[in-house]
Structure 1
Amino acid sequence: MKIFTNTKDRRLKAGWRILFFLLIFFSFSSLIFIIKPIFDTTTKREFLENYSLIIVAILAFGATISTALSRKFWDKKSFVSLGLKCNKQGVKDVIFGFLLSGLMAAAFYFLLISLGLLDFNGFNLKETDLNQSFDFVQFMNVLTLGSLGLILVEHILVGYWEELVFRGYIFQNMIEGLGLIKAIVISCVIYGLIHYINPNATILSSAIIIGFGFLRIYGYLSTKMLWLSIGMHIGWNFFQGPIFGFAASGHKKATLLTHSFTSNKEYLTGGEFGPEGSVLIIPILISTILIMKWYSKNFHHKEIEVKAKDV
């Protein structure tokens, strides 16, 4: 039937492909609440906060399987063709994206200090107590080199699965079904609305996160790979939260640097939501896009052109 399939390529239409993908993904995601009874001493909120590493591991697994199945049976394309080819360029993209996001977080941090909006209160890295019996929740809520390493693993999983789902499967199928411009607009708006349900979210924070959605999309469009966006996603969450001590989209845990705001103007400091709730992140966001454009032009496309000549 024409309502379901394209007669030209004999595939399900893009909208149906996205719908079936989401059904599979949500089915795998439900494992989160199936295993919750194992931690029967916690409430739902405590479970989501204290065992976030386990939760994102399930989401990353579910996103990978759901994408692989959908690409094979409905898209009739390979998993790698989403922009996940593993090569030296991909490694460079991840590292550059990770460090670029670290630069973004640092720029925001020192901008607040220079404007007198933030005071540095010291460092918060503690030594692991080897004589104490191991408690996972306590271990993750006290910043040590060990817990910081696991927090980085958690953010790697988050960056991977969110980019795979949003800028990978959903966005690229939206382009096929709606065209590039509509896909960009709808994808960014959806990304902003999803984050509106986060703790301490505001209309301003959701509007700014729409800009972050475009930042991630530009990472894919400028390189035709997902690695730059994945690296930037990992780096932004890791540096703004665990390193510089801001809340990450409304969530905050143990941090390396401690600080206090000297102003209650959350539209400047970001407050309890984090840098995405501050208008001061906007010029940093724009500058980052320009740096990405420079990088993709001079280091990414250049290598592709060299390989093409070698062939």
Structure 2
Amino acid sequence: MTLFLNSEGKIKNIWWVVLFFLILSSFLFPLIILADRFSFEITMTHQVILISVVSIICQMLRRKSVSDLVGKFNSTWFKELCIGLLIGALLMILPVSVLTIFGFIDWQLNIFSFSTILSGFAIFLSAAIAEELLFRGFMFQRLIQAFGKWPAQIIIAALFLLTHINNPGMTGTVKILASINIFIASIMFGLAYIKTKSLAMPLGLHFMANYMQGTVLGFGVSGSKEPSLFKPVFDHAPVWLSGGDFGIEASALGLCFVILITVLLYIWHPSYLGRQITTNIN
């Protein structure tokens, strides 16, 4: 065993994480320079392509298949995706229903538009793919093998929060509640991966939570506002309860449901799966 190699003569997992960042940076910085030079915006589509390419390169260098990274595309994968979509929808519908029942929210119907549905679908699907590949993909999986599941969860949750910490509206009470919510949400997505050893469920959960919150219900999504089918009208609801312009992610009620789903995922043992993630302290 050396600084770079484990007892089996293979590169230690932590160095694969370093290599992932180096390759990602080698693509990202030129892209930033080009974007500045030719005055174009780096979109979520660019990010999906970039992270996908880097992930595939790293898998090829490890002589592993892409299915080891994202899960095998079979009936089980799509079943897990659908479960994730359902959980993601409930994660937003339940707290919003409580707020509506107790009179904190009234609703207005925006003019129906297919462009609203499709643009929201594209935006939030791209965001979910990019973030799940980055935070539950190659890097997370190598950290699990290097340090174990929970140290990896904490490291990734901290990084996940760091990428959201300067989002619009991150001030005061909103910043406190949103930070806790985002950190625990990362743990929730991580558990969805750990339980299934596939990105299908966390991808479905992440996408549908954002799509339901933003495109359908009309709340902000991590401080960003997109066209929506409905428009919530807050009737004297305090920001700590409604989340304000930031979204349900900054709501105490939303936080309660994120914690609930996280606990349920923690105790869930999928009987249809015989898959385990091995931990190799290297």
Q: Under a length normalisation based on structure 2, what TM-score does the superposition of the two structures give? A: 0.86
Off by >4 Å, runs of 4+ in structure 1: 36-40, 290-294
- 1:23 to 2:10 alignment: no
Q: What is the letter of the counterpart of residue 27 of structure 2?
A: F
The one-letter amino acid of 1:190's match is L
Question: Is the contact between residue 263 and residue 269 of structure 1 (CA under 8 Å) also seen in structure 2?
Answer: no
Range with greater deviation from structure 2 (149-158 or 21-30): 21-30
**Cα distance in 1, alignment partners of residues 58 and 89 from structure 2:** 34
1:140 aligns with: none
Is contact 2:181–2:258 with CA below 8 Å preserved after alignment? Answer: no
What's the counterpart of residue 280 of structure 2? none
> Is the CA contact 1:84–1:227 (under 8 Å) kept in the aligned structure 2?
yes
Cα pair distance change 1:123/1:29, threshold 3 Å = farther
CA distance in 1, matches of 2:223, 2:130: 19
Q: Which runs of 5+ in 1 are unaligned?
A: 41-46, 49-54, 127-143, 306-311
Query: TM-score when scaled to structure 1?
Result: 0.79
Segments of structure 2 that go 5 or more residues without pairing to the other structure are 276-282
How far is 1:233 from its partner?
A: 0.7
Query: Is 1:278 aligned with 2:251?
Result: yes
Partner of 1:139: none
Q: How does 1:125-274 map to 2 (within 5 A)?
A: 125-126=111-112, 144-201=113-170, 202-263=175-236, 265-274=238-247
What residue number does 2:97 align with?
110
Question: Match for residue 279 of structure 2?
Answer: none
Identical-pair percentage = 26
- CA shift for structure 1 position 154: 2.3
| Shift in alpha-carbon separation, 1:290–1:2, aligned structure 2, 3 A | closer
Name the SS of the counterpart of 2:252 in structure 1.
coil
Is the radius of gyration larger for structure 1 or structure 2?
1
TM-aligned CA distance change 1:286 to 1:264, over 3 Å: closer
1:37 to 1:87, Cα distance in 2 relative to 1, 3 A: same
**2:79 is the counterpart of 1:92:** yes
> Which one of 9, 29, 47 corresponds to residue 59 of structure 1?
47
- Greater alpha carbon shift after TM alignment, 234-243 vs 168-177: 168-177
Distance 1:154 1:148 in 2: 10
> How large is the RMSD of aligned CA atoms in angstroms?
2.4
CA distance in 1, matches of 2:105, 2:33: 39
Deviations 1:266-286 (Å, cap 9, x if unpaired)? 111111211111111133123
Cα 1:28–1:147 change in 2 (3 A) is: farther
Query: Residue 192 of structure 2 contacts residue 201 of structure 2 at CA under 8 Å; is this kept in 1?
Result: yes
Question: Which residue of structure 1 aligns with residue 271 of structure 2?
Answer: 301
How many angstroms does 1:37 deviate by?
5.4
